[in-house]
């Protein structure tokens, strides 16, 4: 079938039986009620049904996007809870022996499982350990670990105490880790001796030690010994992760609007933004969207192969699945270790029913060949999901046909760290699937396409994606910088949340995301600010100035292109390697230049502003640069263009 001129696929019939939302009409009814008819009533009902409260809320939303520019929004403000009682305690009586976590370790076929009862005991013991180390309600704890069960246990133990956790991706450099520790004011860090990923050692403890040099605010470093490798040890500060025999630790009663965690995102300025998610609204939204977007069933084996260092790992590995009593998989390795059949081997061995990964991984595996898919039994799969960046139609079709055998629903999910959970996505049994399109908003979400004139586009069209009404899962503020929060998300289009993404909407209401429209690059699901790249590159003594932009990349979604002006006319042969080494050291291994152009100057206005839209066009291979009359030196555009055409890649 076709929808608005695009090929579309109906959900397989066998998915409908037992699904939560079975028809497009049922989706429309729920969306109308949640979004337009009675949003407060809808979300209060969801909150009461899905979350264990110490005191049930009677208030839904307080505030709007106008008032939120002055003070944070509030959801369920008179409610009290502890999120671990929803994620753990409530399941013990009826489902205590159900598998909560499957840990797929780096080597295929190794790892372990934890039942809900075992996980509850370990979280209580870890909470006791942290409490004895001085952690209390409101303290910040940084978690810098690989994908081991102890990472999830540490998150939940912090939540049990009422401490605010901030997970830092294990691939980040010492400097990036240090910046986040300082910004949130962490007093304790949890890390590992070493991580394992794709058969390689990740020196987590050594990196952590580098980050903590002369940093007196951190009183304790708890070290989980994953490899038992030799690592430096600071007596009096470092303690080994050891769990006591404690089987119960009382859960701290929290206000619904108390912070649950801080998760840092890259911004258009060099300083990362500490996004604050709160206990009540976040958990309600994580639970609801996890069940709705993936059509969760009681016997599902659910696998999200993201990292807990990102929001996907928070919402759809830990909090959402555990709140719903699901079996969730933690994956320590990479999709190509030991070969490109690793994912499908896991599906076969664990009888996975719902599988959630990034378009980047799908493109890599498709390029490796179908021969890595077919040897494995994938008949248990029902829903396939994508997350992190827009998926191109070719990769979508490979996922649908080769992996899913044309019998699985695909949900192409659009959301952000700031949104807390999925915003636009098909419902597996109800929504027609369009390759490359995120399709329709989930109930409670009102997307608006805004044109260049700042006005909503009522008919089908293309523009900037905004959200017209608040939802429970959204971040409330940036840690200790609400002014920056308001300026970033609420002032671009007054009265709405500005997503910084471009989007087109067809006449049937389906949304296709085109990617970032601001100065943030999304590389394989890793959001990085161009200013972060530029501040590192200009620290090299050979670099006078530079500008970094993103461009379409067939594997990673977006690649990184740098236009660099050197102090000298002599270009070292190893410049690209040298700059990439600097980026790896200052930001992390995921920060890498795909293209480097040495240029005589940058296209700047008379006021000194760099016109990145011109550089973006060049990086994409386009020849139309629009109006350049406002540039201080328009001739520099032709000079850069000639260099780009002569040297398309580094």
Q: What is the pLDDT of residues 328-363, one digit of tens each?
A: 999 999 999 999 999 999 999 999 999 999 988 998
pLDDT of residue 105: 98
Rounded percentage of the chain residues whose pLDDT exceeds 90: 76
What does DSSP assign to residue 324?
T
Mean pLDDT of the residues in the chain: 93
Distance CA 123, CA 102 (A): 16
The residues, ordered by sequence, that sit 6+ positions from 527 with a Cβ below 8 Å of its Cβ are 265, 266, 417, 520, 521
Alpha helices (H) in 72-200, listed in sequence order: 83-87, 92-95, 116-132, 149-161, 174-184
Find the mean pLDDT for residues 447-470: 93
Segment of 18-22, 237-241, 630-634 carrying the highest mean pLDDT? 237-241
Report residue 184's pLDDT band, with 50, 70 and 90 as the boundaries: very high
What are the sequence ranges of the domains in the chain? Answer: 2-502, 521-646
Rounded to a whole number of angstroms, the distance between the first and last alpha carbons of the chain is 43
Q: Is 429 helix (H, G, I), strand (E, B) or coil?
A: coil
Mean pLDDT of 227-254: 95
Q: Is the Cα dihedral 310, 316, 317, 323 positive or negative?
A: positive
2-502 carries CATH number 3.40.50.12780: yes
Flag whether pLDDT at 219 surpasses 90: yes
For 13-40, what is the mean pLDDT?
92
pLDDT digits (tens, 9 = 90+) for 442-452: 999 999 999 98
Is the pLDDT at 146 greater than 80, yes or no? yes
What's the whole-model pTM score?
Answer: 0.87
Which residue in this structure is represented by tokens 């009826």? Answer: 94
Please tell me whether residue 44 adopts helix, strand or coil conformation. helix
**Kind and range of the H or E run holding 386:** strand 383-386
pLDDT of residue 650: 45
pLDDT at 606 over 50: yes
With H, G, I as helix, E, B as strand and everything else as coil, classify residue 250: coil
User: Quick one: 521-646 is in which CATH superfamily?
Assistant: ANL, C-terminal domain (3.30.300.30)
Coil vs helix vs strand at 103: strand
HSE (side-chain half, CA atoms, 13 Å) at 74: 15
Q: What is the CA radius of gyration of the chain?
A: 24
CA atoms of 295 and 311, how far apart (whole Å): 20
Quick one: which of 82, 76, 81 has its CA closest to 58? 76
Largest alpha-carbon pair distance within the chain?
73
Q: Are 192 and 605 in contact (CB under 8 A)?
A: no
């Amino acid at each position: 079938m076709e929808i608005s001129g695009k090929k579309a696929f109906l959900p397989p019939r066998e998915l409908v039986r037992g699904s939560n939302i079975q028809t497009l009409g049922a989706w429309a009814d729920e969306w109308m009620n949640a979004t337009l008819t009675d949003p407060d009533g809808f979300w209060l009902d969801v909150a009461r049904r899905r979350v264990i409260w110490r005191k049930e809320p009677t208030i839904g939303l307080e505030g709007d996007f106008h008032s939120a520019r002055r003070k944070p929004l509030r959801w369920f403000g008179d409610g009290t809870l502890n999120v671990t009682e929803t994620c753990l305690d409530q399941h013990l009586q009826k489902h205590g022996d159900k598998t909560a976590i499957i840990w797929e370790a780096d080597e295929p076929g190794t790892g372990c499982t934890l039942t809900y009862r075992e996980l509850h005991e370990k979280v209580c013991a870890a909470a006791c350990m942290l409490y004895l180390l001085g952690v209390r309600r409101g303290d910040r704890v940084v978690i810098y670990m690989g994908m081991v069960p102890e990472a999830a246990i540490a998150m939940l133990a912090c939540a049990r105490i009422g401490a605010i956790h901030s997970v830092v991706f294990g691939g980040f450099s010492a400097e990036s880790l240090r910046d986040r520790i300082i910004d949130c004011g962490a007093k304790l860090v949890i890390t590992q001796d070493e991580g394992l990923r794709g058969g390689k050692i990740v020196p987590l403890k050594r990196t952590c030690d580098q980050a903590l040099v002369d940093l007196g605010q951190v009183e304790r470093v708890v070290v989980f010994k994953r490899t038992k490798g030799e690592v430096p040890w600071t007596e009096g500060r470092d303690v080994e992760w050891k769990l006591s025999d404690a089987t119960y630790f009382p859960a701290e009663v929290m206000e619904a609007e108390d912070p649950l965690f801080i998760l840092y995102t890259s911004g258009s300025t060099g300083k990362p933004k500490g996004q604050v998610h709160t206990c009540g609204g976040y958990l309600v939204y994580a639970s609801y969207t996890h069940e709705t977007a993936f059509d969760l069933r009681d016997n599902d084996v659910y696998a999200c192969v993201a990292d807990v260092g990102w929001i996907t790992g928070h919402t759809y590995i830990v909090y959402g699945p555990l709140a719903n009593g699901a079996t969730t998989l933690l994956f320590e390795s990479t999709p190509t270790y030991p070969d490109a059949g690793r994912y499908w081997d896991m599906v076969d061995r664990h009888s996975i029913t719902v599988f959630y990964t990034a378009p980047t991984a799908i493109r890599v595996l498709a390029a490796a060949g179908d021969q890595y898919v077919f040897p494995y039994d994938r008949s248990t799969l029902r829903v396939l999901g994508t997350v992190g960046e827009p998926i191109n139609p070719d990769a979508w079709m490979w996922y649908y046909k080769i992996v899913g055998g044309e019998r699985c629903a695909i949900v192409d999910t659009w959301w952000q760290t700031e949104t807390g959970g999925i915003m636009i996505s098909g419902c597996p049994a109800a929504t027609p699937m369009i390759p490359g399109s995120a399709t329709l908003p989930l109930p409670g979400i009102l997307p608006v396409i805004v044109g260049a004139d700042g006005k909503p586009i009522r008919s089908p069209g293309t523009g900037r994606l905004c959200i017209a009404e608040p939802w429970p899962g959204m971040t409330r503020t940036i840690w200790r910088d609400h002014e920056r929060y308001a300026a970033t998300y609420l002032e671009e289009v007054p009265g709405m949340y500005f997503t910084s993404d471009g989007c087109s909407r067809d006449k049937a209401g389906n949304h296709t995301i085109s990617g970032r429209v601001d100065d943030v690059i999304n590389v394989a699901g890793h959001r990085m600010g161009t200013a972060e790249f530029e501040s590192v590159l200009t620290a090299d003594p050979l670099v006078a100035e530079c500008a970094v932009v993103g461009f379409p990349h067939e594997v990673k979604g977006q690649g990184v292109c740098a236009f660099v002006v050197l102090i000298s006319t002599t270009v070292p042969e190893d410049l690209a390697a040298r700059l990439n080494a600097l980026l790896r050291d200052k930001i992390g291994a995921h920060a890498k230049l795909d293209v480097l152009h040495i240029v005589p100057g940058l296209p700047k206005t008379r006021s000194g502003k760099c016109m990145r839209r011109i550089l973006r066009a060049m990086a994409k291979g386009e020849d139309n640069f629009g109006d350049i009359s406002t540039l201080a030196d328009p001739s520099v555009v032709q000079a850069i263009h000639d260099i780009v055409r002569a040297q398309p890649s580094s």
